[in-house]
Chains A and B, each alone.
Chain A
Amino acid sequence: MDLSAINPVLLIASLMVAATPILLAAIGELVVEKAGVLNLGVEGMMIVGAIAGFAITVESGSPFFGFIAAAVAGAILSLLFVVLTQVAQANQVASGLALTLFGLGLSALMGQGYVGIKPPATPKLDIPVLSDLPVVGPILFSHDLVLYLGIALTAAVWAALKYTRMGLILRAVGENHDAAHALGYKVVRIRTLAIMFGGACAGLGGAYISLIRVPQWTEGMTAGVGWIALALVVFASWKPWRALLGAYLFGGVTVVQLNLQAAGVAIPVEYLAMSPYLITILVLVILSADKSSAPAALGRNFHASR
């Protein structure tokens, strides 16, 4: 065992990379849940985003188009959830599970020709002086652009929910859809847009895994990240900045356990590999006592009787 081989600067830099897919998916789901909808299909949308982004990047040679395609694929898949829950009034839990099961199958089907291929590298930020700074450079100024997008998105969602009229309407729909409907807001339309935003974010998160974090395509490669993102929204009490904090915490656990595996610690690999899931459970236990900040209409379907 050689713990000195672990470089703290690289550790923090890779922690941020590991956290980004969770963050992207969690921010998307946070908006969905703020609108009063519980979409358990995050894992399915992520994995479809992962393969869509991967395939388009490989075919076009451009990660930019890949990420766009991933967001579009996630949003399209989320439309299936819209049809089920907003139009057909189906149970949201069951519909979300259906989305995940379907997405896992669909991604495996789409990804058949892409196993074992290496995608073109995504360009990283390179600012002449700043990126070369000793400690600060690798941590703050030399990541790929999507990582910064994730942080920017967190800020944008926070500001939009807190300061804009759009955010207020979204929250109203999530707290009491009947009152929002009575005020003349289009509950179904607003929820549809929120669900599509969530799908696009999940798709981006998935593509981040297949294009940057791993980067490769294997079946079922998201391995529960979508579910961890769902847990993270609860952890964050539906607050964007706490989602960022939580994502970095989970990213940290993942990276540390991978580093410990590499350093050959005397704990068996399997026990290290299960640690992110166990910590998710632990965090859920600690934080689930307080549910006061959950949107009041979460998981309830809306049907205008008139």
Chain B
Amino acid sequence: MIVLEKRPQPSRVWSLATPLVAVLATMIAGGMLFALLGKNPIEAISTIFWEPLFGEFAFYYRPQLLVKGAPLILIAIGLSLGFRAGIWNIGAEGQYIMGAICGAGAGLAFYPLDAFYIFPIMVIAGALGGWIWAMIPAFLKVKFGTNEILVSLMLVYVAEQMLASVSLGLLKNPEGFGFPGSRNLQSYDSAHNAELIAGTGMHWGVVAAFVAVIFAYVLLNRHMLGFHIRLTGEAPRAAKFAGVKPARLILFCLGMSGALAGLAGLFEVSGPAGQISIDFNVGYGFTAIIVAFLGRLHPVGILLAGLLMALTYIGGEIAQGSLGLPAAAIQVFQGMLLFFLLALDLLTNFRIAIRKSEVA
């Protein structure tokens, strides 16, 4: 009879190998799904994973990798801090929206002034917007013990309504002929998050994402607070004896992930998206949850996972155009990835052994 034996220590080898095995398993299962949809599975998989990197138009798609990966990495880095300590912020999508609204609002308040300080102010406003939105569940959890999962998620729907409200009202372009949506920040130089080096996709958000990766790495490995975060997640009782204050951790982890999600929103609205509009958010806040787990909640892992997930977005779009693969198929594909990852994690924590069956 096959039994699971708990490993005394999680296996390091499997911990590193599971994301790779999970990606392979997802490719196989995804291929089957694409075959069911009447597409050639090998062609579909290669379109998604090969075409953007090495295909005919790779020069166009490679920069997109950074553009799409940056918000995912920024948000996932923030989420991973909380996830490690068992603090579940799943409302990053809402914090992302609020960051974009606050940041764009701050920039548009100066319109049409031309000054160097406008963009930095927008960055601060964006981070603050996300931070405040995340402090609501944090404060309620600390003060009243409210479940942060539910509150942060409810606030996503509230933020979506806010987004609709400001794109039809407060931030609506006065010269937009009545169409919903704000002025385009791409044509307002002081507020535009332009490419730093033309043709690379490198904008300030990408820089921020790399900084966040380094910051998180240092925090978790070289700093007391990071140690406390890890301790709380891995040995809650020990953390209590070590004098870790849960309230401080909750405020820090939620606040930090909110600020990073807000930054991601600001860089997106002032750069690639260009304007506040009703359909501004595309689910980065939720996909970032997958990125955080796929990266094993480790900063470097998240960097790689974010780029991989960006690849599936871009490849998915190509497959949509050239093979007629539905957009939802990519969403299913990304969901499958998380499934396989969580299931295969079994091998990290348990050993599969074969034992003679005995009477229970």
Contacts of A228 in B (CB 8 A): 154
Contact between B154 and A303, CB atoms less than 8 A apart? no
Q: B335: which of A90, A106, A227 is its contact (CB, 8 Å)? A: A106
Contacts of A83 in B (CB 8 A): 343
Interface flag for A84 (CB, 8 Å): yes
Contacts of B149 in A (CB 8 A): 40, 93
Contacts of B162 in A (CB 8 A): 270, 274
Contacts of A102 in B (CB 8 A): 332, 335-336, 338-339
Tell whether A289 pairs with B335 under 8 Å between CB atoms, given A105-B328, A271-B165, A277-B157.
no
User: Can you list, as one digit per residue, whether each of A279-306 has a CB less than 8 Å from chain B (1) or not (0)?
Assistant: 0110011001101000000000001010
Q: Is the interface of A mostly helix, strand, loop or mixed?
A: helix
Interface flag for B14 (CB, 8 Å): no
Q: Compute how far the CA of A104 lies from the CA of B333 in the bound complex, rounded to whole angstroms.
A: 12
Interface flag for A80 (CB, 8 Å): yes
Interface flag for B219 (CB, 8 Å): no
Shortest Cβ gap from A240 to chain B (Å): 20
Q: B165: which of A230, A270, A277 is its contact (CB, 8 Å)? A: A270
Question: Using a CB-CB cutoff of 8 Å, which residues 191-243 of chain A contact chain B?
Answer: 219, 223-224, 227-228, 230-231, 234
Q: Compute how far the CA of A284 lies from the CA of B145 in the bound complex, rounded to whole angstroms.
A: 9
Q: B150: which of A88, A98, A234, A289 is its contact (CB, 8 Å)? A: A234
Tell whether A101 pairs with B289 under 8 Å between CB atoms, given A284-B150, A288-B145.
yes
Q: Compute how far the CA of A104 lies from the CA of B339 in the bound complex, rounded to whole angstroms.
A: 14
Q: B144: which of A98, A101, A104, A288 is its contact (CB, 8 Å)? A: A288
Interface flag for B276 (CB, 8 Å): no
Interface flag for A91 (CB, 8 Å): yes
Shortest Cβ gap from A285 to chain B (Å): 5
Contact between A280 and B350, CB atoms less than 8 A apart? no
Interface flag for B158 (CB, 8 Å): yes
Question: Using a CB-CB cutoff of 8 Å, which residues 237-283 of chain A contact chain B?
Answer: 268, 270-271, 273-274, 277-278, 280-281
Contacts of B165 in A (CB 8 A): 268, 270-271
Tell whether A305 pairs with B6 under 8 Å between CB atoms, given A280-B154, A285-B146.
yes
Nearest to A95 among chain B residues (CB) is: B342
Which of A40, A97, A223 has the largest number of chain B CB atoms within 10 A? A97
Contacts of B293 in A (CB 8 A): 94
Contact between B286 and A101, CB atoms less than 8 A apart? yes
Shortest Cβ gap from B142 to chain A (Å): 12
Contact between A231 and B334, CB atoms less than 8 A apart? no
Q: B151: which of A89, A273, A281 is its contact (CB, 8 Å)? A: A281
Nearest to B329 among chain A residues (CB) is: A109
Q: B157: which of A94, A104, A224, A289 is its contact (CB, 8 Å)? A: A224
Interface flag for B200 (CB, 8 Å): no
Which of A112, A277, A289 has the largest number of chain B CB atoms within 10 A? A277
Contacts of A153 in B (CB 8 A): none
Contact between B343 and A284, CB atoms less than 8 A apart? no
Tell whether A106 pairs with B332 under 8 Å between CB atoms, given A268-B165, A270-B165.
yes
Contact between A112 and B157, CB atoms less than 8 A apart? no
User: Can you list, as one digit per residue, whether each of B75-98 has a CB less than 8 Å from chain A (1) or not (0)?
Assistant: 000000000000010100000000
Interface flag for B28 (CB, 8 Å): no
Nearest to B153 among chain A residues (CB) is: A227
Interface flag for B346 (CB, 8 Å): yes
Shortest Cβ gap from A209 to chain B (Å): 15
Interface flag for A108 (CB, 8 Å): yes
Shortest Cβ gap from B239 to chain A (Å): 18
Contact between B343 and A227, CB atoms less than 8 A apart? no
Interface flag for B221 (CB, 8 Å): no
Q: Compute how far the CA of A94 lies from the CA of B343 in the bound complex, rounded to whole angstroms.
A: 11
Shortest Cβ gap from A77 to chain B (Å): 11
Contact between B335 and A101, CB atoms less than 8 A apart? yes
Q: Compute how far the CA of A87 lies from the CA of B343 in the bound complex, rounded to whole angstroms.
A: 9
Contacts of A234 in B (CB 8 A): 147, 150
Contacts of A289 in B (CB 8 A): 144-145
Q: Compute how far the CA of A93 lies from the CA of B334 in the bound complex, rounded to whole angstroms.
A: 18
Q: Compute how far the CA of A48 lies from the CA of B180 in the bound complex, rounded to whole angstroms.
A: 32
Contact between B343 and A231, CB atoms less than 8 A apart? no
Contact between A281 and B329, CB atoms less than 8 A apart? no
Extra inter-chain contacts (19) besides given A90-B346, A103-B335, CB under 8 Å: A88-B345, A93-B88, A97-B289, A97-B338, A98-B335, A98-B342, A102-B338, A105-B328, A106-B335, A109-B328, A112-B326, A224-B153, A224-B157, A227-B153, A268-B165, A281-B154, A288-B144, A288-B146, A305-B6
* Selected A-B contacts with CB under 8 Å, 11 pairs: A88-B345, A98-B290, A102-B335, A102-B336, A104-B335, A105-B332, A106-B332, A108-B331, A231-B154, A274-B162, A285-B146
- The 6 A-B residue pairs with the shortest CB-CB distance in the complex, in nearest-first order: A105-B331, A102-B335, A108-B328, A270-B165, A105-B332, A109-B328
Which A positions have Cβ atoms within 8 angstroms of B? 40, 80, 83-84, 87-91, 93-95, 97-98, 101-106, 108-109, 112, 219, 223-224, 227-228, 230-231, 234, 268, 270-271, 273-274, 277-278, 280-281, 284-285, 288-289, 291, 303, 305
